[in-house]
Chain A
Amino acid sequence: MYAGPVQDLIDELGRLPGIGPKSAQRIAFHLLKLPAQDAVRLSRAIDEMKARITFCSRCFNVSEGDECELCADPRRDTHVVCVVEEPKDIVAVERTGEYHGRYHVLQGAISPIEGVGPDQLKVRELVARLEPEGITEVILCTNPNIEGEATAMYLARLLRPLGLAVTRIASGLPVGGDLEYADELTLGRALEGRRRLE
């Protein structure tokens, strides 16, 4: 236990994802040594983010205004929507430069253990977007783990009867890699999802 304010900060940092008690302590003491203006800049950045950033009213990406930059961009194809779990997944898909449609952030995946069901996700909001925006294809881009797969399956069953194309991203091998370095699961999936060469 340290003097009140130091311990308070360690406790707060320790609540952050991926930060254990030891890391929290190290960061707290680093901040303690920092010049006052540097520490204030950090605390102001946090304040500003909380004050100015909200979620886009359309796709639930992080946004500075009511609508995020991507939804406001007139060059995006409005007929395709890519469904992801978190805003950070948008960044990953955007980096590919291959996708020019819009997004929809579920803000999580179905996981009863964490108390998350379809009602806690932005599922209803997704369904409400389909008709007004004239969406013809939904790409399910949730994580390839148990919860992400379950979420994708849930959405596919919900959306398919509505008569639009529902697709799931493929799983497979990293480009530029060697087969011998691939783990057996990924390689197994890649074999399952093989394609005929045209």
Chain B
Amino acid sequence: MRLQRLWLTDFRGYAAAELEPAPGLTAVVGANGQGKTNLLEAVAWLATLSSFRGAPDDALVRVGADEAVVRAEVVADAPARADVGPGGSEGPGGTGRLVLLEALIRANGRDQVLVNRQKLRRARDLLGSLRVTVFSPDDLALVKGGPGERRRLLDEALVSLAVKHDALRGDLERVLRQRGTLLRQAGGRATPEVTATLDVWDAKLAELGEATGRARAALVDRLRPATSAAYDQVATASASVTLTYDPAWRRCDGGLGAALAAARAEDLRRGVSTVGPHRDELELVIDGLPARTHASQGEQRSLALALRLATHAVVTDVTGSSPVLLLDDVFSELDPDRSHALLAHLPPGQALLTTAGPLPEGAAPGLVVRVAGGRIVDGGAPGAVAAGAGTGVV
């Protein structure tokens, strides 16, 4: 999967910008606060329909504008998939199929997405047309943060593997909200009406939760060897890395349904759902010790990086097409050894990286893009706004 061209209109600080990334590595350079990350954020938005920095839609629209437009030409190298929408039916698939993706991100109101100029009924129908793997300075939270960070890693990877997981995740969240509200409304009293209604939500939660658990377990089985291999590549010292996904409810006879029944009194008393996939943990262990509490800062950084690389490898393997790698300012967080190791083991395929400092040793980008004041001043698409503006040579 390759991003051939990117156009931005009124996205973040960019009034208008155009970029033609290299087939291999593109480096986006410039001082802090000039808009480097925004380029990566726009690409990732098309892939995930959200900002990897957690920004709401209205923060993505340039001040004074009503909507931002992100448009991209993507060369798909995977077989055509029905879920890319009407545009996906153009050809028999195979290599070199060019798809034009467009997103109108509105400050107020619904976003609109188009594939090959065809409006899609729902924005989420765009998922699967472009896949990305994002490395960001916040990735350390994958290891140091709470279990929610690791669940998000798994669930986002699942959506990259198969779009149906996005709907599963949405349905699960909705059932949990309904069940939680009912528990709070019950105020600890199990009236016949509350019991009968809870039975229904429990049945739904059990069905969706079991499906989520199965998907997560299968993914972790694939991630385990991949993470171990990636860790050995990026870490300065070799270590044994183990991933464990084994929530207690999955070991329960009768599965989640039985676990929910057993927890009902407690759930009613506390007014929250105490059991289920929303409380799962992915345990990370380095040399027999929990990485979150016992690993050194350096080991934690290596493991976070290894998890991203492993996810990338698994998605590439399963879908037969490597996602576009987006490395946001990762070298500021890594020591020279790990930066070097990351660049040396960068998976094949397309990558875009941003850096405020000099490029690490060993980086040989096919294109260097210089960004200043919300404009691409050098290295943008030929004939675009950059013409004549850039004098600095990188």
Interface residues of A (CB under 8 A from B): 20, 110-113, 115, 117-119, 146-147, 149-150, 153-154, 157-158, 178-185, 187-188
Contacts and interface: CB of A to CB of B under 8 A. Distances in A.
Interface string B174-213: 1101110110010000000100110111011000000000
Contact of A153 (B108, B177, B204): B204
20 contacts: A20-B108, A20-B109, A110-B200, A112-B185, A113-B181, A117-B182, A117-B197, A118-B193, A118-B197, A149-B204, A150-B175, A150-B201, A154-B199, A181-B82, A181-B89, A184-B83, A184-B162, A184-B164, A185-B164, A188-B164
Given A150-B201, A185-B164, A112 B82 contact: no
Contacts of A157: 196, 199-200
A contacts with B: majority SS: helix
A146 B181 contact: no
Contacts of A147: 178
Contacts of B164: 184-185, 188
B203 A158 contact: no
A113 to B, nearest CB: 5
B contacts with A: majority SS: helix
Please give me the 3 A-B residue pairs with the lowest Cβ-Cβ distance, nearest first.
Answer: A112-B181, A112-B182, A154-B200
Contacts, number: 67
A158 B197 CA distance: 11
Contacts of A119: 193
B349 interface: no
A113 B24 CA distance: 49
B372 interface: no
B196 A112 contact: no
Contact of B171 (A115, A146, A153): A146
A113 B178 contact: yes
A108 B57 CA distance: 31
B181 A184 contact: no
